[in-house]
Structure 1
Amino acid sequence: MLQTQALVLQELGAPFKLCDIELQDPQPNEVLVKVTACGLCHTDLIIQAGVFPSPFPCVNGHEGAGTVLSVGSAVTRVQPGDEVLLSYANCAECGYCTMGRPAGCVGFMDRNFGRVRNPSVGAAPVGTLAGTDIPVHGTFFGQSALARHCLAVETSVVKVPKGLDLALLAPLGCGLQSGAGAVLNMLKPAESSSVVVFGLGAVGFGAVWAALYLKVKTVIVVDLVPSRRDLALSHGATHAFDGRSPTLLHDIQHATEGLGAEYAVEATGVERVLRTAWECIRNLGRVVSVGNPGPGSRTPFDITDQVNSSKTWSGLVEGDSNPPVFIPQLMQMHAEGHFPIESIVRNFPAEEFDQALAAMKSGEVIKPVILF
């Protein structure tokens, strides 16, 4: 057992609280990581709000980065001393995983939202609140990295060269790869095409930077926050519109030769925004939903409309990425100046988590990163 600290949710709706916990030794498929930093994501908050079920007390956080301290007996991907980024978990055994598309893993929900550590122990707790026998549940997206130390399953671990700025790169583990993957792995737009991105959080900016990297002719962004629209324009977006504008659809059509955009990335998870994304694309166009409104939501368009317009709508999780392959690609894009992560990140020490959360909710900060 290792005594450490984590940002714990004691119960549904409770605030994140920095608590002393006792962490178990790694399972055969797990890695003990000394966490340097963890990006804060809206997905962490939907667990707090009960959008997805979770046991409590629990630790969230799924954009971790740090140094390997020890490994379980079956781990081969990393060894003690390696520096790593943490991403989502997969079973490594199903047909999707073995074909190199682990985002399609048949056990995705269990391994990520369900906190399954491995088939032998299932979603067993990773430790206890210090000095008590109250269990603490981890393994959120295979990691639960809002902590000074975490147990990460091997499939969520991506080894990176030593000496990099891990706090800067931590958000690659989820949000940024989700947005970039929507463009690079799914849509694959031609240079002559048009892409509109709804929502300029980390997911949205990942999509924008990917489209600009591919030299897409028309890159349109839609967001409510003027500073975010201005930032996207400064990076190379060709048009930026306020999502509240009554002329939004007309403006997008005007920017795309009257036909509408060929591709849309919906990164807000808001149903009415998805409807707008659907309406703004041209016939034969394609919308991909990366934002997740949670269980029970319905697509806000009609099947007959979809058939008669030959439009395509797709959902997408984690950018259809294979993290050990895709994250290094994004790191290379950053090194070449095509993926300016530093423009959206602000670091906060763990003791200032409440300030980080407030800054994210207010829109002041796009991607808070918590330092441990």
Structure 2
Amino acid sequence: MATEAIVALLSAIGEPLRLTNAQIADPRADELLVKIAGTGICHTDLTVQHGRFPSPVPIILGHEGSGVVVAVGDDVGDIAVDDNVVLTFMSCGVCSSCRSDDPAYCEKFGQLNMGGYREDGSSATCCNGHEVAGHFFGQSSFATYALVNRRNAVKVRPDAPIHMLGPLGCGLQTGAGTILNALKPEKGSSCVIFGGGGVGLSAVMAARLVGCDPIILCEPVESRRALGLELGATIAIDPRAEGDISARLMELCGGGVDVICDTTGIPAMIEAAVQALGIGGKLGLVGMNSMDAMATLSVVSILSKGLTIKGVIEGDSNPRIFIPYLVDLFMAGEFPLDRLISFFDISQINEAFAAQEKGAAIKPILTFAS
């Protein structure tokens, strides 16, 4: 028997999202149905709405959901009804990357996360009698209920506030994981983060946990620079106010930066990062400004300084391990993700999208009145 749900449907590229009724099929053996308590808005949701990412429409977006399990299939492992879960990206579980505990580099990542459908091409969700793409990042969590696979549901401790944990499934694990899993700076290393959104500020908090010094946040919005300083940055600068951002960073870091996390995807910032890195420096590329963005990098700088330039998806994380770890840090007061959050009712979804796009909200979370 199908579950009745309210979903925020994107009917066509460029249109506002609208709330509508939907029917979600019962879980298959490896699936579970989750009542959504809260779901974050990520920049990727905006890029799909604007047609900058190749996903089908009509589609139900949302990929930072969290909530309570209300139904399970026969083969979902240790997840049971009434468990609290954070929903994350989908992976196939059988390719070489998945078998090596690197699910963020699943060979079918694009199909399973951006395609909007199950791996077999089906969807569990219908609106007005018509099937819609209801498996965005394996969850389509802009909805009162989401049907997910056991592979992209992560059980978390029951005493954590489940309604605010959804962003750990994507944006916050991306920022924190880029520092902790991908770049792995040593204590006392200099660290620069380009961009003070949810991903960048999560990287700031992770750099503080490591003990990096200095931690420099490059962010044009003054309020985000101020928050970054409260969350662990030791220096916050406006890159627009610097004539030569590379030279300024090298000056602040005694000749060269040890690690840089770029969350902007802006080619000029990436080029500046390569110039600013010191001997043996590492650059983690997290953001994507556009599908065809191109940066011109100095081969001499890369070779002569022995640089490492690494693309990072989902923080190089294994969500089943990393998300509960971040929840534990949050509950211990060491990863204050609540400082990034603004809450919106699901009925305000288009206002929340606008706040995210304009920078008025760092990490909007949609909640549900009932």
Question: Which TM-score band (shorter chain)?
Answer: over 0.9
Contact 1:90 1:105 in 2 (8 A): yes
Residue number in structure 1 paired with 2:252: 255
* Matched residue type, 1:324: R
Offset at 1:291? 0.7
**TM-fit CA distance, 1:177:** 0.4
1:209 paired with 2:205, answer yes
- The aligned counterpart of 1:285 is 281
Encode CA deviations 1:108-156: one digit per residue, 9 max, x unaligned.
Answer: 11111123424xxx23222221xx3322111111111010011111111
Matched, 1:269 2:265: yes
Matches within 5 A, 1:84-163: 84-118=85-119, 122-129=120-127, 132-163=128-159
Conserved 8 A contact 2:160-2:331: no
TM-score (norm 2): 0.95
- In the alignment, structure 1 segments of 5+ residues that lack a partner are none
Structure 1 position 196 matched with structure 2 position 192: yes
Q: Distance in 1 between matches of 2:344 and 2:188?
A: 41
Q: Secondary structure at the match of 1:32?
A: strand
Q: Distance in 2 between matches of 1:150 and 1:220?
A: 39
Aligned 1:1-372 pairs, distance under 5 A: 1-118=2-119, 122-129=120-127, 132-247=128-243, 248-257=245-254, 259-372=255-368
The alignment partner of 2:123 has SS state of: coil
Distance 1:115 1:30 in 2: 16
Distance 2:59 2:210 in 1: 40
Q: Secondary structure at the match of 1:354?
A: helix
> For residues 310-330 of structure 1, what are the alpha-carbon distances to aligned partners after superposition, in whole Å with 9 as ceiling and x for unaligned?
222111100110111001111
The residue type equivalent to 1:235 in the other structure is L
Alpha-carbon distance between aligned partners in 1 of 2:266 and 2:218, rounded to the nearest angstrom: 13
Q: Which amino acid aligns with 2:249?
A: I
Answer yes or no: is the 8 Å Cα contact 1:139–1:153 preserved in 2: no
Q: Classify the secondary structure of the residue corresponding to 1:204.
A: helix
CA shift for structure 1 position 3? 1.6
**How many equivalent residue pairs?**
366
Report the AA paired with residue 122 of structure 2: A
Query: 1:92 is aligned with what amino acid?
Result: G
Q: Note the alpha carbon deviations across 1:33-91, whole angstroms, 9 max, x for none.
A: 11111000011111111222122111111110011111223222412111111011111
Residues 117 and 153 in structure 1, CA contact (< 8 A), matched pair in contact too:
no
The 3-state SS of whatever aligns with 1:244 is: helix
Q: CA RMSD in A?
A: 1.5
The verdict on how the C-alpha distance between 1:127 and 1:116 changes in structure 2, with shifts beyond 3 A counting, is: closer
Identity among equivalent pairs (%)? 35
Give distance in 1, aligned partners of 2:171 and 2:289: 15
Separation in structure 1 between the aligned mates of residue 238 and residue 60 of structure 2, nearest angstrom: 36
Shift in CA distance, 77/370, structure 1 to aligned 2, threshold 3 Å: same
Q: Distance between the aligned counterparts of 2:284 and 2:204, measured in 1?
A: 14
Q: What is the TM-score when the length of structure 1 is the normalising length?
A: 0.94
**Matches of 1:123 and 1:54, distance apart in 2:** 13
Contact between 2:46 and 2:353, CA under 8 Å: does it hold in 1? no
SS of match in other structure, 1:150 = strand
3-state secondary structure, aligned to 2:342: strand
Query: Is this contact kept in 2: 1:77–1:154, CA < 8 A?
Result: no
Moved more, 293-302 or 22-31: 293-302
Aligned equivalents of 2:100, 2:242: Cα separation in 1: 45
Give the Cα–Cα distance (whole angstroms) in 1 for the partners of residues 274 and 158 of structure 2: 44
Shift of 1:285: 1.1
Note if contact 1:62-1:143 (Cα within 8 Å) is conserved in structure 2.
yes
- Greater shift after overlay, 181-190 or 99-108? 99-108
